[in-house]
A = this chain, B = another copy of it.
Amino acid sequence: MTSRLIYLPLGGAGEIGMNAYVYGYGPKDAERLIVVDLGVTFPDMDGTPGVDLILPDISWLEERKAMIDGIFITHAHEDHVGAVGHYWERLGAPVYARKFTANIAARKLEEHGHPDGVLTVVGPYPETRDVGPFKVSFVPISHSIPESSGLIIDTPEGRVIHSGDFKIDKTPVVGEAFDESLWAEIAKDGVKALVCDSTNIFFKAEGRSEASIAGEVEELMRDAPGMVVATTFASNIARLKTLAVAADKAGRSVCLLGRAMRRMVEAATETGLLKDFPSMVSPEDAQNIPREHLLLLVTGSQGERRAASAQLANGKYLGLTMKEGDTFLFSSKTIPGNERGVIRIMNQFSEMGVDVVEDDTRYHVSGHANRPDLERMHEIIQPQILVPMHGEHRHLREHVKIGNSKGLTGIVAVNGMMIDLSGNAPTVAEYIETGRTYLDGTVQIGALDGIVRERIKMALNGHVIVTLIVDENDEPLGEPWVEVVGLAETGTSNAALVEVLEEDLGQFLMRAEGKTLRDDVKLEKELRSIARRTTQAEIGKKPEVAVIVSRLG
């Protein structure tokens, strides 16, 4: 039987976040598999209230556990590594990553009590791992976290380049620069497929280097009259360095606030990446430093409610407070969907008299390649096939269009589309059922289980609880009892809603026939329907209704 090379995104293609890609090689339905990245995405009140974390549905992989030869993590962002702890047991394969990424992954595996030895630290290319039919190397590539890597995946069908998240940055402040000649060398014998980051495909200007903002940041640190508090993604070690070095030059001591940031700096220190980083002071010591000589680096660039930025916006945090004349700098970009949270803290700071600086061109550069940079990457790699990933549908589609316009063959492959890369042109081999898994409390539930949907419905419509006792003779014992949660107390008839409900339900029961009273399903259906109708008439809302009939019989 002939073998084939397949690519299957389980997450990250058709969305930004929750990356999980599968490559396979072998006879149809008996391919040996590797997984690239196992990330998470984050819940929101709109669609996933109360959910703790969103993970890709890996049922397809789990059913093929024995076929998985390895899990490769390109870098330590949560949308690439966040599910490793939750899922390792279900996949059971060795995990490969570079040193810094492995440091972060190890913490996650540890939290879930997984054994040591799961994790293999791999050095950069030309170091190569043979896993099943694949030879895989990590090629340093610039991004907004240290030691990001693109992968070379050599297969019997040819070389695949999985770009990982990347930008073209020749002066990245921390870590390895984008090395154009290295990539050209890697691509020189031909590349079967480039599976490529699409995040910034709609940005038409050439991307800017991390080093380019240092001057502006330094000026701000020098000119700000009071304390400066700056936020960025905790994992953006280069940015932390840019900010800290600027502060140092402006005579400011640096203090770090926020668990995620401390953890990242710890990992960067342990792996030897934090060279020439100014020394830091503790929050306790910071309290004794004149505010014009202080920079706080804090978590919460997306307005997260529990992060250090929000704590400072609410008042005191670890003994530190902001006040009139201080400056709060967003050295970050607000991710679509997070605007409300960010605006909330901006206004809280405004009320304190704090000047908020939010300018994502002067004090921030993106970690992803813009359109011209992606085009440059296409030119360097010159792949036979372009497969955009790490994007919503519109990003993937635009990326293919741009590839096509330069003569590349491309395919929009969204989660669940298994692509056969074996031939000269990519074909859709199969559609796999994919989806999302929610971590809800300590339990994993399916996105389509309806559990979260029930919660959303209660949030929109309120909840009415009807209880009724039926005696041994199938006669109602007393009146039905009603409680309401999340609904107005009184409506049009100016009596308490619960009383109107009890009255209407009582009336119905008085007239109800024996066969209705004997039939739980029928009885509950009728009571529910009356409860909804009455609530609608009273307050104009159709609530969720729970009916509980207790039979003494």
Contacts and interface: CB of A to CB of B under 8 A. Distances in A.
A447 interface: no
A486 B351 CA distance: 38
A492 B351 CA distance: 46
A435 B29 CA distance: 62
A485 B552 CA distance: 24
Nearest to A397: B350
A456 interface: yes
Chain A interface mostly = mixed
A483 B459 CA distance: 18
Identical subunits present: 2
Contact of A491 (B46, B50, B442, B489): B442
A356 interface: yes
A433 interface: no
Contacts of A307: none
A202 to B, nearest CB: 9
A433 B336 CA distance: 34
Nearest to A337: B340
A392 B347 contact: yes
Given A442-B539, A488-B451, A465 B546 contact: yes
A454 to B, nearest CB: 4
A442 B542 CA distance: 11
A110 to B, nearest CB: 19
Contacts of A492: 442
A78 interface: no
Interface in A519-553: 536, 539-541, 544, 546, 548, 550, 552
B469 A458 contact: no
Contacts of A441: 488, 536, 539-541
A90 interface: no
A443 B347 contact: no
Nearest to A52: B540
B445 A488 contact: yes
Interface residues of A, number: 63
A456 B458 CA distance: 8
A393 interface: yes
A337 B46 CA distance: 11
A315 interface: no
A339 interface: yes
A337 B552 CA distance: 52
A463 interface: yes
A45 B488 contact: no
A432 interface: no
Contact of A459 (B45, B351, B477, B488): B45
Contacts of A465: 465, 546, 548
Nearest to A346: B394
A440 interface: yes
A491 B443 contact: yes
A460 interface: yes
A459 B462 contact: no
A118 interface: no
A488 B458 contact: no
Given A340-B336, A491-B442, A491-B443, A463 B463 contact: yes
Given A343-B392, A483-B546, 19 more contacts: A45-B49, A49-B460, A336-B339, A336-B343, A337-B339, A346-B394, A347-B392, A351-B393, A353-B397, A440-B488, A441-B488, A441-B536, A442-B491, A449-B488, A454-B486, A456-B459, A465-B465, A477-B552, A481-B548
